[in-house]
Structure 1
Amino acid sequence: MPASATKPLRVAVLADSDTRWKWGALTANRIAPSGPGNPGDTAGAADIRLDGYLLRGRATPTARQLGEVGVRADSLREVTAVEFLRAMREESYDLLVLALVGGGVQAMLHGLKRIWEDRPQRPVVVTGYVGVVYEKLADGLLLRHGADLVLANSRQDAERFRTVYEGVRADSGSVTEVALPFLGGAAYTGEHDPYTVVFAAQPSVPESRKDRTYLLNRLVQHARRHPEREVLLKLRSKPGEHTTHIEELPYQKLSQRLDLPPNFHLVYGHMGDVLDRTDLLVTVSSTAALESLHRRIPTVVLTDLGVREALGNHHFVGSGCLASWDQLDAGHRPEPDEEWVARQGVAADGSYATAFDAARERITKLLARPGGLPPLTPYYTPVTAPGYLPGILARHHLGPDGTPLPGAPAADKEPGPVRQIVRRAARGAYRHGVQRVAPVIRRMGEL
């Protein structure tokens, strides 16, 4: 049953990166039936208990990244997939948010189905996407099928999601329209002093050194051309840290070779804090564009490298925000298309306050369902995808039926100091290999 004033709703979030932890934790606070009266309040609900689980892997967030996200949990620990499933068998939760890549969601759905098969009660299971869905639509959606709620961040996404599920004769009833949980902040009221241009960088878009160097040079040139402006390069992570995507060529490293003007700065921190002083947001295809549009800040999605699916900026066709650096330097300022903005869940018209009502209502009904919830029923099974599903499950040390494989990494207690040191060293070596060694090997292979 939904939480009362004396019994807080118990909520768990499993995430595999800093951005997904941010999405999962904020989403949990917004969709919990006992959540705050004002859905726009991101401070969290006082009447829920939030336990966070961080899936161990290449992108497990560091303490700095977790602090930058700014979302508090009542408990937070790092786990393997098998350790998480054990916790879900031993603990009793009302709501579970899976903030993972598609394969991780699918593996957890099968593992959870297995461990809950003899339990009369189970949590409501929710999943979704961190931001703009511009690639692998069918693949990602079918890997998420089986959750009680599959959240769509906009009206457009909700329609696309249902079309995919119905097209393979899978139940589309789980698709629930919401909005991105991290929108908010004060609306833009006019230029700051100094006028501030912010470029929102992305870890993997674009990928090549040539393209990333080009964008950095244009940003620096803009700063030199406008010495009266402050020009900021907003970075997602520091060298050695991983986020949702691997960043092989950090802008920090590229910028070391340039003579940077005094009005050009690299910045980290919460995106909302940076937007508080932004007069023009520029990006290739970052979700930061939607945060900026929500606050009615002038926003540009760059066309310099083309409008291409590989860049993700094709998603913004029709937005009115597409422009090049040449146009910006000439004084162009974009005017967003209001109809496009409304379909993207940006909710700049004030409707954000009710964007999560439908999800809360559905969860309330599911929690109150007599006799508990039925077993999880993912679309992918050993019958529908015998050549695909076993490999996905095996990556998380699960067998075809969701049972942990022999020798799967798990621990009955928290690792000791020596094991923690070894684990950190191993992760550091892995990240060094991904960011430093692998790119060199690839370049050598292209010679």
Structure 2
Amino acid sequence: MPASATKALRVAVLADSDTRWKWGALTANRIAPNDSDIHLDGYLLRGRATPTARQLQEVGVDADSLREVTAVEFLRAMAEEPYDVLVLALVGGGVQAVLHGLKRVWEDRADRPVVVTGYVGVVYEKLADGLLLRHGADLVLANSRQDADRFRAVYEGVGADASAVTEVALPFLGGAEHTGDHDPYTVVFAAQPSVPDNRRDRTYLLDRLIRHARRHPEREVLLKLRSKPGEHTTHIEELPYQKLVQKADPPSNFRLVYGHMGEVLDRTDLLVTVSSTAALEALHRRIPTVVLTDLGVREALGNHHFVGSGCLASWDQLDDGHRPVPDPEWVARQGVAAGGGYATAFDAARRRITELLRRPGGLPPLTPYYTPVTAPGYLPGILARHHLGPDGTPLPGAPAADREPGAVRQIVRRAARGAYRHGVQRVAPVIRRMGEL
């Protein structure tokens, strides 16, 4: 459905966590043609990481409407609502399931929306798996030149159409450039929910952060946390730092902080992390950034992605006053426009969407690489997790909003989430420790 300057571009974003909602909603605004007035409807896919009201507020992205749905409910809405663009901000399996469901829903429509998907941040694991699960969208966004080259190589290597790969940048880069140290000098450690994934390493990092605060009492040392206990983000957090710090004795210049990362970076003089995408946000603003090597440079940690960046260093080096100097060529390859150019990073995506919206006769059916023929032992399980059959049709008994009383449904869902989180954060670690005895 063509968009024009006199008509709002109707955009829908389906997200399964707070970070993916942030990526999806900001991406929707970045990739919309410049002459468009956006009407944005948000859909939150019900699951273990469905964001809370506090998390949504912290993300700070507004929508004209926002509601929680199952995959089946979402597909029903897509059959009825006339959107121009749809952004799928989901884990790979969720993208694949929805693509097959949409293919079924839109099989008789030529005026379907342009479908866009991509990644929230650094792609350092499951490259082929994640990419092939996203294949079938009209645009598969790559956050950097390096990612665009890798994505095309994977698709071409399996004989899949690679034309959907479109180079952009992370949509949440921005903010004032760091031009001088603050008073007090502020060190921020950007924590990650699942990296590292064990008590010993997380306790070590917390201990080194506290030791740095004691060694430099003139500095403010902040532990930036993504979520509060009981909340989930994109990844499960079994050992929240909030609980670990209760057993420590931090000095007065150390504290925990929440909130929007951009606001925290406004007062940051040194950003420290293991492999968080916050490192790219900091580099974009020319904030000195360190990716820690204390636990090794390993694929499991994701810090191997930063090899060649000039940012790798240890706590011992930081304690002694080391200030990293990033490699400009590496930074440029990662889509970090510290020297300018960010304003044009989404031009290719805007042009592509404009072309597709104006395509004579509408858009062809969605054609994911995975089908019952190419992946008969893999695809059905992915679809079944979202209550879809092998052809994308809802399975009998699939949950729907009109089958349960609203209040009862809310209570049951909250109880289930609470039980799940208790199991992840309390029961599972105990069982793991017992197994180590």
Q: TM-score range by the shorter chain?
A: over 0.9
- Equivalent residue for 1:153? 143
- Is the CA contact 1:55–1:80 (under 8 Å) kept in the aligned structure 2? yes
How big is the alpha-carbon RMSD for the aligned residues of Structure 1 and Structure 2? 1.1
Pick aligned residue for 2:77 from 83, 87, 97: 87
- Is the CA contact 2:291–2:312 (under 8 Å) kept in the aligned structure 1? yes
- Is the CA contact 1:99–1:127 (under 8 Å) kept in the aligned structure 2? yes
- Equivalent residue for 2:431? 441
How far apart in 2 are the matches of 1:230 and 1:223? 7
1:314 aligns with 2:290: no
Shift of 1:3: 2.9
Mark the CA change 1:10 to 1:34 in structure 2 (over 3 Å): closer, same or farther: farther
Pick aligned residue for 2:353 from 353, 363, 377: 363
- Equivalent residue for 1:70? 60
SS in structure 2 of the partner of residue 239 of structure 1: coil
1:20 aligns with 2:20: yes
Shift of 1:391: 0.5
Unmatched runs of 5 consecutive residues or more in structure 2: none
Shift of 1:414: 8.7
1:200 aligns with 2:190: yes
- Equivalent residue for 2:32? 32
Pick aligned residue for 1:423 from 373, 394, 413: 413
SS in structure 1 of the partner of residue 43 of structure 2: strand
TM-score (norm 1): 0.96
After superposition, residues 363-442 of structure 1 pair within 5 angstroms as 363-412=353-402, 416-442=406-432
Unmatched runs of 5 consecutive residues or more in structure 1: 36-44
After superposition, residues 98-109 of structure 1 pair within 5 angstroms as 98-109=88-99
- Equivalent residue for 1:42? none
- Is the CA contact 2:45–2:71 (under 8 Å) kept in the aligned structure 1? yes
Shift of 1:258: 0.9
More moved, 331-340 vs 416-425: 416-425
- Is the CA contact 2:3–2:357 (under 8 Å) kept in the aligned structure 1? no
Mark the CA change 1:17 to 1:415 in structure 2 (over 3 Å): closer, same or farther: farther
- Equivalent residue for 1:4? 4
Which amino acid letter does the alignment assign opposite residue 200 of structure 2?
K
More moved, 275-284 vs 423-432: 423-432
How far apart in 2 are the matches of 1:337 and 1:413? 57
SS in structure 1 of the partner of residue 247 of structure 2: coil
Shift of 1:34: 4.2
Q: Deviations over 1:6-27 (max 9, x none)?
A: 3200000000000000000000
Shift of 1:429: 1.7
- Equivalent residue for 2:156? 166
1:324 aligns with 2:321: no
Shift of 1:2: 4.2
Percent identity over the alignment? Answer: 89
How far apart in 1 are the matches of 2:365 and 2:398? 24
Pick aligned residue for 1:56 from 39, 46, 49: 46
Which amino acid letter does the alignment assign opposite residue 408 of structure 1?
A
How far apart in 1 are the matches of 2:404 and 2:14? 17
Shift of 1:349: 1.2
Mark the CA change 1:27 to 1:414 in structure 2 (over 3 Å): closer, same or farther: farther
Q: Deviations over 1:72-131 (max 9, x none)?
A: 000000000000000000111000000000000000000000000011210000000000
Which amino acid letter does the alignment assign opposite residue 50 of structure 1?
L
Shift of 1:442: 2.3
More moved, 134-143 vs 411-420: 411-420
Which amino acid letter does the alignment assign opposite residue 338 of structure 1?
P
- Is the CA contact 2:106–2:112 (under 8 Å) kept in the aligned structure 1? yes
Mark the CA change 1:90 to 1:414 in structure 2 (over 3 Å): closer, same or farther: farther
- Equivalent residue for 1:212? 202
How far apart in 2 are the matches of 1:348 and 1:415? 52
- Equivalent residue for 1:38? none
* Number of residues of Structure 1 aligned to a counterpart in Structure 2: 437
1:181 aligns with 2:171: yes
Which amino acid letter does the alignment assign opposite residue 128 of structure 2?
A
